[in-house]
Structure 1
Amino acid sequence: MMFFHVFCYQLKNFSRKKYIIGWNLLFPLVLATAFYIGFGHMVTEDPNSFQTITAGYAEVQPVSGTPEEGTGSGNAEIFLKVLGQLQTEGGQNLIGLTRYDSEKEAREALLDGQIEGYYLNEGGELSLHIREEGVNSTILSQILKQYRSACTMEKRIAENHPSRLLQTIAGLSVNREYLEEYTPGRQISPYLQFFFALLAMSSMYASWIATTMMESMCANLSECGKRFESSGAGKFPSILAGALAGTIFQTVSNAITVLYIEYVLRISFQAPFPEIMMIMGLGSAVGIGFGILFGTLFQREALRVAIPLAFSMVSSFLSGLMMGQMKQLVENAVPVLNRINPAAVFTDSLYVLASYGKNRQYWLDVLSMAGMVIVTLSISAVILRRRQYASI
C-alpha cells in the first residue's frame, strides 16, 4: 500500500514541475519540428529510389587522321547505342547521356557538377573521367570495362574462330546477371539518425526527474527529505516506487514525441510502435537510474542541476544529435565509448530495429541498457545503505 502511495505522490510531483514539463515534454517536440523544417524532406524521400546517372560523351580526333573502324574500344556509335539501351528493372534509363562537341565542354560540365563523369573517345580509344569516387562513378567505370571486354572477345573470336562470331555476338547481347543482389536490411535515411538522437536526449533528460525525486527523499538534501526519512516508509521500496513513476512519466513523454513525429510530421521510424515504445521505456529507465545515482552522489543543489544537464547533452552529442557522423567518428577513435554511452546504445538499438529487426546486435543493446539500470541502482543502493545522519 505504501509503495502505491509513494508511486502516485511522485507521479503528481513530476507532473507539477514546470521545468520538467518544459524540458522533458515540450522541448523535444520543438526540436523535432526544427529538424523537420531543416531536413524533413530528406528523411521522407525513399533512400532506395534510383536516380539516373548523368554522364557525358566527347570525341577527340587524332592528328594523324580518322582511326580505323573497330580499333581500340570499338565503334563509338555502338558504345553510345549500348549506353542508351541500359535500363533498370523498372524500365528507367540507367545513364542520362549528354554529347559534347569538345573535351573542354565536357570537363567544364563535370567541374560544375552537371554530370558525374564523361567518356572520352580519342581515336577509338575510350576513357572515363570522373570528379570523385563513389557508387555512380563505379557504375560508369564497370560499364566501360565490360564493353572493352566484350570488344576484345569479339576481336579474338573473329581472328581465330570466325565461324563462331555470330553466335558470340548473340550471346553478348543477352543480359546476364552473375551476382545476386543481397540487401542485409532495410535502407533508411541517414537523417533519421537525428530523430533517434533526439529521443535519446529526451530519455536522458529523465535524470532530472530522478534527482528531483532524490531531493525529496534524502534528509541531507531538503526538509521534505528529513520528514521522509523520519517516517516509517521503507527507503528502498519508496525509491523503487519513485523510479517506476519517473520511468512511466518519461515513457509517456517519449510516446507523445514519437506519435508527433510519425503522425504529425509524417516521418516513419520504420519499426512497429510497440517495439519502439519498449526501447523508449528502457531508455527512460536508464535516465532514471543515472539520475538516482547523481542525486545520491552530489549534495550541492547546483551540481544536482549541472551534472544531469551535462550528462544528457554530452551523451546526446556523442550519439549524433548535433553532428550526424559523430558516433562513427567515436567508433573509429574510441569504440569503447559507444558501448558505455547510454545515448549511443539507445540510438543504435533504434537504428538496428529499423534496419534489421530484432537481431543479435539489437538484443545486445537491450541487455546493455538493462545492465546500466542495474549497475546505477545497485551503486546507489550501496551508497544510501551506508549513509547515516548524526541528527535529523
Structure 2
Amino acid sequence: MTLRIKTLGIVTVTLVALILVLIISNRQIVLGSFSDLEDEDIRRNVQRVEEALAAELNEIDISATDYALDDISPVTLVGLLNDQAFAETLDGKNKFADLIAGLNLNTFLVADADGRVLWGRGYDEDTQDLSPVPRGLLPHLTPDNPLLRHPNSETTLTGMVFIPEGPLLVASEHILSTLGEGAILGTVIMGRFLDDAEIQELSELTRLSLVIHRLDGSDIPEDFQDALSTVNDSEPVAVRTLEDDLVAGYTVLPDIQGEPVLMLRVDVPRAIMDKGRLSMLYLLISLVAVGVVMVALIIFLLDKLVLSRLSRLSGEVSGIQSASDLASRVSVTGRDELSNTSGAINFMLDGLEQAH
C-alpha cells in the first residue's frame, strides 16, 4: 500500500469519525432544544384552551350578572314568592325561551334567599322551547349547596358541575333588592353544557384539535390513564408523543368543588420538531460537504508539499542507483525536512564520489 493511499485512508477515517461525533453531540443538543420548545408550545396551547374555557364561564357569569342587576329580576323574584301561578306566566312568555336561546344556555333557574328553587327551566334546542331542568342537576339544588348560598353581596360562583347528562358550565349570581345593592333576595343560576358542539366551538376558537374525556368511567383510554398518573399541582400539564408527527398535552379539568372530573387533550402537529429534524438534516449535509472539501484540500496539500516531492526524490535516488552515477545529485527545493533530506543525500553522494 502506497503512502498516498495510507494518508488518504487515515485522513478520511479521522474526518468521518469527527463528523459522526459532531452529528451525535449536535443531535442531542439541537433536537433536545427543539423538544423543549415543543413542550413549551404544547403547554401554552393547553393554557390557551383553559383560558378559552374560562372565557366561556365568564360569558355565562356576565349574562347572570346582567340579569341579576336588571330591574325585572327583583320583580320576577317577588312575583314567584307571592304567586305560584306566576311561574306559569313565565313559562308562557316567549321572552324567556328567547333569552335562554340567545345566551346559548341550557338551563336557567331562580331561587329565593333560603336556597329554594322557585323557577327553573332547561332549553330544548330541537324544539327551541323551554324544557325541564336537567334531572342530574337536581341533587345540586339543595339549600346548602354553594350554588344557592351567597354569604354576602360580593360573592359569585362559577365553575363546572358534573352531572349524568354531561359537564355543565354554571354561574351563580345573587339578586339584590335594589339595583346593584341592598339585601340579597335570591339567586339566579345559568348553565351551558360542555357538549360536542361547545367543544367544537372551543376548537375553532383556539384553532386546536381538542378531546375531552370523563374520568368517572372504566373506559378511560390508555394515553389518558398514563397522563393522569403524572399530572399534579406542580406539573399540571403532561406532554406525550402520540405519533411521529403528532404531540399531545393533557390536563385535568376540575368541577366547581375542585374535584377532577374531566381530562382535556390538545393535539398539535409536530411542526417544531419537524423543523428540528430539518435543521439536523441541513447540518448533516453541511458537515459532509465540509468534510469532503477538507479531505480533498488536505490530500491536495499533502500531495503538493510532501508526497509528490517525496516521490520525485525517490525516483531521483533510484535513477542514480540504476546508472551507478555518483556524480549525479538529487534536486533540492525549499527549506524544510525534505530539502534537508535531499541535501543529506547529496552530501553522502559527495563522500562516495570522493572515496572512489
**TM-score, with length taken from structure 1:** 0.23
CA radius of gyration, larger in: 2
Structure with a larger share of its residues in helix: 1
> RCO higher in 1 or 2 (8 Å CA, sep ≥ 6)?
1
